[in-house]
Amino acid sequence: MSLHLRPGSVVFENITKKYGVVTAIDDVSFSIEPGHLVTLLGPSGCGKTTTLRMIAGLEHPTNGRVIIGGKDVTSLPATDRDVSMVFQSYALFPHMTVAENVGYGLSVSGLGKQETGERVEEGLELVGLAGYGQRLPSELSGGQQQRVAVARALVLEPEVLLLDEPLSNLDAKLRRKVREEIRDLQQKLGLTAVYVTHDQEEALAVSDRIIVMNRSVIAQEGTPRELYEKPASSFIADFIGDANLVEGEIVATHSPNEATVRIASLQCNLPDRGLAAGPVKIAIRPDCVLLEKASPELKGIKGNIIHATYLGNQIHYTIDSALGELFVVDYRIDRAITAGSDISMTFASRGMALLAS
């Protein structure tokens, strides 16, 4: 592969972006290391696209600094930034062939015909579209168009590759395949990539790190695992994987960083996450609620099954209990419990986390 990438870092310093009275981004700071794929994740309207467009230079922050590859590019327009973007709609030029699309950036930067042609070939080969150069975009499937958009961005050897919801126009089956391809390509080339999505599963699957945004600010930032296992807030716990949020109490804290927590009639030890004794919220993953048919000698929390849904490899339960309504996923198909039964619950501590808020 003769792409000569110099992956760059991206730093946001106290960025605010206002559109008139609407604040789309509110005092956001983060940094992205070279060679990493970082996902901006969050519900629709939280400011992901705006953030991405400010990295690209298509929008300019109202306040703050953008630093790419160590250079302050805050006032540089998109044209002068060493950043390429794959648009949600792909934005392929409909009047140009695939090869002309991929070669566009090279030819406007003044590269000769011969060399442009060679690099276009390489780019198309990279995304598995060798031989498709003479087609028009309208003659390709959605997945192929998407790959052309990626090739077009990559042949410029950008410091940073930006992808705005790149899978949203693809059908579900294709999505998994394409996201793996994007991830493989990114790792193979050592690219810095910023990836926008509202789909948490997609984010967990492709990212080195995830920045979760909510209402114009960063809600939490970390590796997929950190976000899943140590959600900082009920928003994160709920947004990344499902979670049951229940009330409990920290009875005592003891070193190293452990707390004894009481939930209704149960007690367990969990990482304290810096919290002091007192009432606390706890997130419990649905697959970490363990159900048994109720019997007098079990000391779990009592409850009743409202719904039981069979899904082939798992069963979903809705439980009514003293903690409120809980959602439970159980993989022990052979031990299915029918709706209406009384049960007794315990929790596996690997799927529990104390929440600061």
Partner 1 sequence: MGAEGGKFVRAAFLPWLILGWVGFAVLPWYLVEDGFWAFQWLIDGYPLDSDYAPALVQAALGNVWLFPLLLPLLAPLFIIRKTKTDPDYARVLIISGGFGFAYLLAQGFIVGISGWEYTALENLFGPMNSRQYGMGYGALLTATGFLVLFTSGLAAAGSLRGDVFVTSAIGIVIALVATFVFLPVGKVLISAFISESGTYAFAAFGENFFTRKIWGLACITTTASCGVAWNSLFLALLTGVSTTLLGLAFALVATRTDFRWKKSLRTLTVLPIITPPFVIGLALILLFGRAGTITQFVSDLLGVEPGRWLYGLPGIWLAQTLSFTPIAFLVLIGVVEGVSPSMEEASQTLGASRWNTFKRVSLPLMRPGLANAFLIGFIESMADFGNPMVLGGNYEVLSTEIFFAIVGAQNDQGRAAVLAILLLCFTLSAFFAQRVWLGKKSYTTVAGKAESGAHAGMNPLLRNICLGVTLPWAAFTLAIYGMILFGGFVISWGRDHSLTLQHYSNAFSVDWAEHGLHWEGTAWDSFWTTITISAIAAPLTAALGLLTSFLLVRQKFRGKNLFEFGTMLSFAIPGTVIGVSYILAFNVPPFELTGTGVILVLCFVFRNMPVGVRGGIAAMTQLDKSLDEASLTLGANSLTTLRRVILPLLRPAIVAALVYSFVRAITSVSAVIFLVSADHNMATSYIIGLVENGQYGIAIAYSSVLIIVMLLAIFLVQRAVGERKLRRDNRLEATSAKSKSLKEKQA
Ligand X SMILES: Nc1ncnc2c1ncn2[C@@H]1O[C@H](COP(=O)(O)OP(=O)(O)O)[C@@H](O)[C@H]1O
Among positions 228-247, residues that touch partner 1 (CB under 8 A) are none
Residue pair 32/193 in contact by the 8 Å Cβ criterion: no
Q: What are the φ/ψ torsions at residue 341 (nearest 5 degrees)?
A: -70, 150
Q: Is 74 in the site for partner 1 (CB under 8 A)?
A: no
Q: What is the per-residue binding string for partner 1 in 30-69, x denoting contact by CB under 8 A?
A: --------------------------xxx-x---------
Cβ neighbour number for residue 288 with a 10 Å cutoff: 18
Nearest to 218 by CA among 37, 30, 58, 19: 30
Cβ proximity to Mg ion: between 41 and 150 the closer is 41
Q: Is 167 in the site for ligand X (CB under 6 A)?
A: no
Q: Is 117 helix (H, G, I), strand (E, B) or coil?
A: helix
Q: Which stretch binds ligand X (CB under 6 A): 45-53, 147-155, 223-231, 279-287?
A: 45-53
Q: Tell me, what amino acid is at 138? A: S
CB of 48 to Mg ion, least distance (A): 5
Q: Is 192 in the site for Mg ion (CB under 5 A)?
A: no
Length of the chain equals 357
Tell me, by CB under 6 A, how many residues bind ligand X. Answer: 11
Cβ neighbour number for residue 131 with a 10 Å cutoff: 10
Among 8, 47, 105, 224, binds partner 1 (CB under 8 A): 105
What DSSP element (H or E) covers 29? strand 22-32
The two three-digit tokens of residue 90, written as one number? 């792909």
Cβ proximity to Mg ion: between 48 and 209 the closer is 48
Among positions 38-77, residues that touch Mg ion (CB under 5 A) are 49
CB of 42 to ligand X, least distance (A): 6
Q: Is 77 in the site for partner 1 (CB under 8 A)?
A: yes
Q: Is 139 in the site for partner 1 (CB under 8 A)?
A: yes
CB of 249 to partner 1, least distance (A): 52
CB of 92 to partner 1, least distance (A): 5
CA atoms of 104 and 145, how far apart (whole Å)? 15
Among 50, 101, 207, 344, binds ligand X (CB under 6 A): 50
Q: Is 88 in the site for partner 1 (CB under 8 A)?
A: yes
Cβ proximity to ligand X: between 44 and 357 the closer is 44
DSSP letter string over 246-285? EEEEEEEEETTTEEEEEETTEEEEEE-TTPPSEEEEEEE-
Cis peptide before 166 (omega within 30 of 0): no
Cβ proximity to partner 1: between 163 and 232 the closer is 163
131 binds, among ligand X, Mg ion, partner 1, none (CB under 5 to 8 A by kind): none
DSSP letter string over 47-87? SHHHHHHHHHTSS--SEEEEEETTEE-TT--GGGSSEEEE-
Number of H helices, E strands in the chain: 8, 20
Q: If you search the block for the tokens 């970490």, which residue do you land on?
A: 288
The two three-digit tokens of residue 93, written as one number? 């030029």
Q: Which stretch binds ligand X (CB under 6 A): 17-25, 27-35, 304-312, 330-338?
A: 17-25
User: What residues line the site for partner 1 (CB under 8 A)?
Assistant: 56-58, 60, 75-85, 87-95, 104-105, 108-111, 136-140, 142, 145, 152-153, 156, 162, 169
User: What residues line the site for ligand X (CB under 6 A)?
Assistant: 19, 22, 24, 42, 44-50
